[in-house]
Amino acid sequence: MSKVLVITTSLRAKSNSDILAERLVAGAKDAGHEVEKISLKGKKIGFCIGCFGCLKTQKCVQKDDAADIIEKVKEADTLVFVTPIYYYEMSGQMKTLIDRINPLYTSDYKFRKVYMLSVAADDAETTPDKAVNGLQGFVDCFEKAELSGSVFFGGINGAAEAADREEDLCKAYEFGKAID
């Protein structure tokens, strides 16, 4: 089975996306995958400064928490990004991390499958479209990878509200279980 890296990007305490990510992780483990979950809470991750030194060295010149995460991304077979939807887009901290993954562009990265779980107060079917499109832009730059799936949970707003939504918890579990 695959080595799956789940990256949760909400900085909120009792985050709904974290609650649903836990169910996704349980499903992926039950499917036989080796799963590691990383949260961006408490991590120091600076903005990419655009120096492109990383394209030669496969390492970023900045010394912060992104370096360890980038190494884990490189070694994973499958990536799952988990984000709240802010203003119909992925969280800023998710985008910042994606930009910082640039050192892997010229490396021998292992990931082939990329997934996304997103959560928002708005429950319109189109709510996650821009976030999915943004993640697709990242995936398009990594020729060996593909965006393999996305799941959206709408109408969830209050802290820890997802914990009481059995149908959504089951859906997150099944999404994790279906990761290949």
Q: What is the torsion angle, in degrees rounded to the nearest 10, for the CA atoms of residue 53, residue 55, residue 57 and residue 59?
A: 80
Per-residue pLDDT of the chain (180 residues; tens, 9 = 90+): 899 999 999 999 999 999 999 999 999 999 999 999 999 999 999 999 999 999 999 999 999 999 999 999 999 999 999 999 999 999 999 999 999 999 999 999 999 999 999 999 999 999 999 999 999 999 999 999 999 999 999 999 999 999 999 999 999 999 999 999
**Hey, what amino acid is at 56?**
K
Q: Does 3-177 carry CATH code 2.120.10.10? A: no
Q: Break the chain into its structural domains and give their ranges.
A: 3-177
Give the pTM. 0.97
Rounded Cα distance, 120 and 124, in Å: 9
- Rounded to a whole number of angstroms, the CA Rg of the chain reads 16
For 24-47, b/e burial (b = at least 16 CB within 10 A) is bbbbbeebebebebbbbeebebee
- Calculate helix-pair angle for 92-100, 129-140, nearest 10 degrees: 0
